[in-house]
Amino acid sequence: MPLKLCGPPSTQPDRDKAMPTRAPRPLPNPPPQRPKIIGLFSLSGAGTTFLVNQLKKEIGEDEFAFYDANQALEGVCPGGLLAYNPLDFDQGQQYRDVTINAFQEECAKKDVMGVVVRYLTLWDEDNQCVSLAPSADVKAHTHILYLELPFAQYSHNSEHSLEKSSQDEVEQAKLKDWDCWQKRDISYLRRFCHRYDITFTVLTPHLGTVPKVSSLIKDLQVFSQAHNRRAAKEQLMRIMETPRAEFVETVLLFDADGTLSPQDSEYLLWCQVPCQLMPVGLENIPSKATLSHISSSYKDYLQTVLLHEEVFDDQTFADVCQEVAAAIKMYPDMLALLRQAIETPHTLPIIVTGGPRLVWEIVLKRVGLFETVHVIGSGRHKDHAMMTPEVKGLLVALLQGKWNADVWAFGSNLVDAVMFLKADKSVFVTDSETWLIDDTGPVWKEHLQETCPQLQDVLLSTNSTMAPQYQPQKMHLLGKSLVNKIFSRRLRIFYITRDKPSTILMSFEPECSPTYPIWRSAHHEIGALLANRFLKDNLVDENPLSDDNYMFPRNLTILAATPGSMPMALGIHNEYFGANFLTPDTLTDLGNDGSDILTATRVLVLVKSVIINESFLMDLLKKYSVAIESLVKVVIVAGVIRSSLMTNTKLARLFGQRPNVNFVTLHFTDDSGSPDDAPELENV
């Protein structure tokens, strides 16, 4: 129905009538998202019509709309294609616009994916191009599939096949022309799609079957950056739901290529492809070098996966990955690091690779770590999760936020920059042979080191004079200091027993109570016991060469956090003659004399009899975080600490980032020994 055009409304108010108050206009609806349109290209007569008819039966037309561009042009152009073909570009543009716009509107309205049958070029008998689809029409697609048939089959599909007796030479010439036309189409489309950020795949014979094409189209329907993020989250969720992950404090995230080994698995994979079988029109094969940019997009990684599908069938891909895995030689230090991470209960290693996931699963099987080290990555379109720079950063944030884990990131290239910046600690791996050849690092590395102060640089080698490969090694090249940092517990907790705490520890007695003297004496003795058992070893100067003795009495302050903590704090103070002692008022009134003492304090012993929830310590961090960091050492002493507070909680994560804080307790109890329904405990 033609649109009725109206003139603009008058801007002159009606002075004879009162101006009514207008109701607020509703916010306009956002424009509909551009629908996904797959262009199904081929040479005329190559079988696209047959394929589309089969696809309609296989995947139906509820979520997909099928469309033939030539039939649509024939319907809108008076005189059909015979009248359309002689038209010049500008004359034919209006008909092309009408057809493609109508189809896009239909797909957007029905919220379906469109599949358009198109032909890039039409050729005559003299090997001359009769017409070429305008670039504007090609750019209208979000994905392009090109149906390829081996040219030997063309004679069987051609309507102009010659008689058997006279067709040999003529047929061979025609087949060569056909093959030439097809290669030109593919080469042009591949370069065009790369330039305009359109994913492109050739439906080679193993990929051109109806089940394979329908599976690919269904995946392209849902593939997006949001879908990729969800897929990566789901894989991480499955890993973090395993029994081993329940009490993990530290997660080690490893990039694979260039980090666990100096080799590039993606590059090695393409080295297995003979030159004559390389994709036509492909300018650069995917590798760590081509995908190692911070600007590498989701579509870059998706295109790499689609290239795998185009070149390798499932069995060939598996066989090639076996060959690539055999060529991977891991750094001995990184192999030893993975082994120790598995043997350490509070650490969990995860490999996040932008390369073929299957390669690294095979490598892990070879070294006996497949069952214990998880790999997140892709390689085939059914794998879904592609490790883009953004997704690596997302996984770091999830581990920190949802599971309160400290994250160490190990990488070797700019593609790992987002992961480096978000992680708590980062390790940049450089191959020694590369370093000897390129003695100056790339400019981006200098910028990364400036913006990422937690980044540590290590130089590794696969040719070090160590024991044979794939045997447990000491991490000589990583260095003892770095390894100790990686595997140190997030919180240092010193305790005597994990038995159920006695009632006297979990209670509070007012001074008027007849049992108050017994309660006070017990807490006093516990304070003295902890001071002698742990604190005196905990508070010594860890640097024997230092001339600065921060254990001089006036540098040490013992602070009772609550009134109920006073007896225990006094028991500790009796063991440190000359040390400062502050009452709970100091924390509530920073203007009193205790403030000056705290300012001069270098070692603080904070005493709170019972710690069963995180509210007190979280408030402490919120108010006095700067003061805590400025102290040489802080020891938090309690009679009872609930163990679950010190594992996968935000409290444990925040305190774990402060190496100057330790915890000392008599009872390190499980949840059953410290119920939440005892509000008086927080007065202790």
CATH code of residue 407: 3.40.50.1000
- What is residue 38's predicted lDDT score, i.e. its pLDDT? 94
Beta strands in 258-403 (DSSP E): 347-356, 374-378
- What is residue 209's predicted lDDT score, i.e. its pLDDT? 92
Domain check: are 624 and 575 in the same one? yes
Q: Which domain holds residue 123?
A: 37-222
Q: In whole angstroms, what is the distance from residue 97 CA to residue 427 CA? A: 54
CB atoms within 10 A of CB 585: 11
Q: In whole angstroms, what is the distance from residue 352 CA to residue 149 CA? A: 37
Q: What is the CA radius of gyration of the chain?
A: 35
Contact 298, 229 (CB under 8 A): no
Q: Quick check: helix, strand or coil at residue 377?
A: strand
- CA 162, 164, 165, 169 dihedral sign is positive
Domain check: are 463 and 511 in the same one? no
Domain check: are 471 and 445 in the same one? yes
CB atoms within 10 A of CB 664: 23
Residue 112 domain-assigned (yes or no): yes
Residue 44 domain-assigned (yes or no): yes
Domain check: are 476 and 591 in the same one? no
Q: What is the DSSP letter of 11?
A: -
Q: In whole angstroms, what is the distance from residue 400 CA to residue 385 CA? A: 20
Enumerate residues 6+ apart whose C-beta is below 8 A from 650: 404, 614, 618
CA angle 626, 628, 631 (to 5 degrees): 110
Domain check: are 160 and 54 in the same one? yes
Residue 22 domain-assigned (yes or no): no
Residue 1 domain-assigned (yes or no): no
Q: In whole angstroms, what is the distance from residue 411 CA to residue 605 CA? A: 39
Low-confidence ranges of the chain (pLDDT < 50): 1-22, 155-157, 159-165, 465-473, 543-547, 676-684
Contact 429, 258 (CB under 8 A): yes
CA angle 328, 334, 337 (to 5 degrees): 140
Domain check: are 351 and 272 in the same one? yes
Domain check: are 258 and 316 in the same one? yes
Contact 228, 305 (CB under 8 A): no
At which of 222, 256, 278 does a domain end?
A: 222
Q: What is the DSSP letter of 533?
A: I
* Sequential DSSP letters for 145-205: EEE---GGGHHHH-TTPPPGGG-HHHHHHHHHHHHHHHHHHHHHHHHHHHHTT-EEEEE-T
3-state secondary structure 438-486: CCCCCHHHHHHHHHCCCEEEEEECCCCCCCCCCCCCCCCCCCHHHHHHH
Contact 428, 411 (CB under 8 A): yes
Structure tokens at 216: 């690919």
Contact 30, 80 (CB under 8 A): no
Residue 635 domain-assigned (yes or no): yes
């093959």: which residue's tokens? 179
Total domain count, the chain: 3
Structure tokens at 63: 């979520």
Residue 28 domain-assigned (yes or no): no
- What is residue 678's predicted lDDT score, i.e. its pLDDT? 44
Contact 602, 555 (CB under 8 A): yes
Q: In whole angstroms, what is the distance from residue 315 CA to residue 618 CA? A: 55
Residue 287 domain-assigned (yes or no): yes
Structure tokens at 330: 């891991």
Enumerate residues 6+ apart whose C-beta is below 8 A from 234: 385
- What is residue 20's predicted lDDT score, i.e. its pLDDT? 44
């056909």: which residue's tokens? 178
Domain check: are 483 and 542 in the same one? no
At which of 429, 458, 487 does a domain end?
A: 487
Domain check: are 309 and 194 in the same one? no
């008819």: which residue's tokens? 53
- What is residue 223's predicted lDDT score, i.e. its pLDDT? 92
Domain check: are 313 and 337 in the same one? yes
First to last CA, the chain: 80
Domain check: are 585 and 437 in the same one? no
């791996």: which residue's tokens? 429
Contact 36, 112 (CB under 8 A): no
Q: Domain with 581 in it: what CATH number?
A: 3.40.50.2020
At which of 430, 459, 487 does a domain end?
A: 487
- Residue 143: beta bridge partners? 38, 199
Residue 12 domain-assigned (yes or no): no
Domain check: are 538 and 505 in the same one? yes
